[in-house]
Amino acid sequence: MNLIIDVGNSAVKSAVFQDAKLLRSYVFSFEKFSEKFQQIKKEHPKITFSMLSSVIKDTSEIEKMLKKETELFVLGENTKLPFKNKYASPQTLGKDRLALVAAGAKEYKNKNLLIIDAGTCITFDFKNDKDEYLGGAISPGLHMRLKALHNFTAKLPLVELEENVALIGNSTQESILSGVLNGVLAELDGIIDRYRADYKYLTIILTGGDTQILSKRVKNGIFANPNFLLKGLNYILEFNKTQ
């Protein structure tokens, strides 16, 4: 049984897998890790292996806890990957993006695949039908755009994201929501169209924290999979067990 941990910019996402089957997922704050880890171990006492991925620098305390009770794998530059990485600067490539491509290599082998991760940032990652990772793009996420409009202007308020957003905003708050959400939707549809023009038989996965609000509004056909990153980390763990 595997425990997967992804320490992100705003939260810790975790999941327990039995081989490739996801049994349960969790989301909690970094400060609550010790408490949550003990809870997860109590619920799943047969956890033997763990995989840690983090975008923050210091995870030494987390690593100590995991090493004490599991056989720990930490995703890093020297971790073996189940795909060909053709990124020009692999040392600067985010671990979350590596995990997403690993999931794509497992579930969409020998297919052209565009993975869109809508979280703090929106990342676009492309794997071709030779299972080569070529790269992609990084763009500000929905909440980052809302905060930027507030932080870099004198009078615009900080607006919370809402589900129902009109095209034409008739107040400052509604205008901000329309600009941010409809702008991101136009960006997604436009980039998907450009990839489809260059690559036939393209599969598109949408994942990340803002999957729900975006998936029902994107015009292009996509597959929504909120746990794609956790599945990728589990696949990397399973792959490295045999190396």
CATH no. for residue 29?
A: 3.30.420.40
Note whether residue 101 is domain-resident: yes
Note whether residue 135 is domain-resident: yes
* pLDDT band at residue 209 under the 50/70/90 scheme: confident
Catalytic residues: 96
Q: Are residues 117 and 147 located together in one domain of the fold? A: yes
Tell me whether strands 21-28 and 12-18 are parallel, antiparallel or unpaired.
antiparallel
pLDDT over 70 percentage in the chain: 100
Number of domains in the chain: 2
pLDDT above 90: residue 142: yes
114 and 223 in contact (C-beta within 8 Å)?
no
Q: Are residues 120 and 218 located together in one domain of the fold? A: yes
Q: Are residues 140 and 209 located together in one domain of the fold? A: yes
Overall residue count recorded for the chain in this entry: 243
Q: Are residues 36 and 102 located together in one domain of the fold? A: no
Note whether residue 241 is domain-resident: no
pLDDT above 90: residue 171: yes
Q: Are residues 143 and 214 located together in one domain of the fold? A: yes
Domain that holds residue 32: 2-74
pLDDT above 90: residue 206: yes
Note whether residue 242 is domain-resident: no
The pLDDT of residue 77 is 79
Q: Are residues 68 and 163 located together in one domain of the fold? A: no
Give the SS3 label for residue 26.
strand
Q: Are residues 164 and 200 located together in one domain of the fold? A: yes
Could you give the CA distance from residue 48 to residue 31 in angstroms, rounded to a whole number? 24
Give the SS3 label for residue 6.
strand
pLDDT single digits (tens) 7-37 = 987 789 999 999 999 999 999 998 899 999 9
196 and 188 in contact (C-beta within 8 Å)?
no
First and final C-alpha spacing in the chain? 18
The pLDDT of residue 100 is 96
Note whether residue 91 is domain-resident: yes
Q: Are residues 43 and 104 located together in one domain of the fold? A: no
Note whether residue 149 is domain-resident: yes
Among 40, 74, 108, identify where a domain stops. 74
Q: What mean pLDDT do residues 201-228 have? A: 90
Could you give the CA distance from residue 32 to residue 108 in angstroms, rounded to a whole number? 35
Note whether residue 239 is domain-resident: no
| Binding-site residue set | 6-13, 87, 94-97, 117, 120, 172
Helix ranges (H only) for the chain are: 33-43, 60-69, 95-107, 142-151, 172-198, 211-215, 228-241
pTM of the predicted model, to two decimals? 0.90
Greater pLDDT, 99 or 58: 99
The pLDDT of residue 234 is 96
* pLDDT band at residue 78 under the 50/70/90 scheme: confident
Across the chain, what does the average pLDDT equal?
93
| Binding-site residue set for substrate | 87, 94-97, 172
Query: Which tokens belong to 225?
Result: 């999979």
Query: Which of 183, 175, 181, 137 shows the shortest CA–CA distance to 153?
Result: 175
Q: Are residues 63 and 28 located together in one domain of the fold? A: yes
* pLDDT band at residue 47 under the 50/70/90 scheme: very high
Query: Which tokens belong to 173?
Result: 């708050």
pLDDT above 90: residue 221: no
Note whether residue 238 is domain-resident: no
Q: Are residues 51 and 111 located together in one domain of the fold? A: no
| Binding-site residue set for ATP | 6-13, 120
Q: Are residues 28 and 99 located together in one domain of the fold? A: no
Q: Are residues 175 and 215 located together in one domain of the fold? A: yes
